[in-house]
Amino acid sequence: MRIETMAVHAAAEPDRETGALSPPIHLSTTFEHPPDSGELDGYLYSRYGNPTQDRLESALAALEGGAACLVYGSGMAAAAAVLAALPPGAHVVLADDTYFSVRTLALDFGRRWGLEVSVVDVSDADALRGALRPTTRCIWIETPSNPHLKVADIAAAAELARGAGAILVVDGTFATPMLQRPLALGAHVVLHSCTKYLGGHSDVQAGALVVADAGEMLDTLRAQRTVLGAVAAPMSAWLVLRGLRTLACRMEWHCRAGQAVAEALAEHRAVERVHYPGLPTHPQHALARRQMKGFGGMVSFHVRGGRAGALAAAGRLRLFRNATSLGAPESLVEHRESVEGPRSPTAPDLLRLSVGLEHPDDLVDDLRQALEG
């Protein structure tokens, strides 16, 4: 079964009681059980499991080709779960262009948990290999990365991880399983902020981890989530499940519009440089062509005139909304340095675009008028 069909039909069996094709939302926090507290029909308490959440986990595991999936209340909760599951003293190799909050999580909280963290340009295979230690237990890559759209070689990173006795975690939020399937390339865990493309409508917050094997890591993550309670709410799980049904067609349009926007920006005199894997000038364009089915809807670019020029252009946009997040029908623009704060590693002249589902010509026209003042 092709993945586009799978997205529509995974965990979509009709409701047993009513025959409803749209799955029910089970809002109950508790379930009846026998006097000896044995579980009845597999459910006891919502922190342990919920039928709506189970449907979503089954669907995401199928789409990623994984053994199992665990859904969380946010993408950051999912990221924290992986790091917290590592043994104290473990060394983590972290991609240098990782989502800023994950970077903060690893460098600040991870070190409090006894982890050692090295920040490396994982798009450079030699740099990644050189960063490995005898204590390395996790390689964490984000591809394409946020916000510079770097592309890392998943298969090569997976081989290095296995040789080091480490797990490879891939944040696949920008690509989604429609464009890239990290587990098929050797990754151990793939992470998604379901808030973004999987939900797809700016109305839900959730995260997910899909694991390649039903082994010790899955057992640790499941036990940890049960105790800490970082589960997704039933309504959130239902909204993400709904979003999956249209993911294939949405990603096709995001890719088409993203390519058009990137090409137009690359030719504009007010733009210094564009980051988009679909451009032949991208340093990892050839790798992206091999590893991905499409290049996505995320574009970032440097505006001539520095920070002032970038903020002025963002302020003149009419269709692109100045807002955080991505992957929604509406196009968004974000000045990453401002959002990330004083510790931001992002250049002050960079704007990040989430190219939405509007007509590409209208978006290009909006960017041109904003850049030309």
Q: Which residues are catalytic?
A: 47, 99, 171, 196
**CA 208-213-217 angle, 5° bins:** 70
Among 185, 363, 109, CA closest to 260: 363
Q: Which residues pair with 192 in a beta bridge?
A: 208
Do residues 254 and 246 touch, judged by C-beta distance below 8 A?
Answer: no
Looking at residue 136, the DSSP 8-state letter turns out to be E
* CB neighbour burial string for 220-239, b if at least 16 within 10 angstroms, e if fewer: bbbebbeeeebbbbbebbbb
Burial of 91 (0-12, 13-18, 19+ CB in 10 A): buried
Instruction: Provide the CB-side half-sphere exposure for 163 (13 A, CA).
Output: 10
Q: In what order do the strands lie in the sheet with 189-193?
A: 68-72, 207-211, 189-193, 167-171, 136-142, 91-95, 116-120
Count of C-beta atoms within a 10 Å radius of residue 107: 15
Strand order of the sheet with strand 332-334?
271-275, 298-303, 350-354, 332-334, 321-322
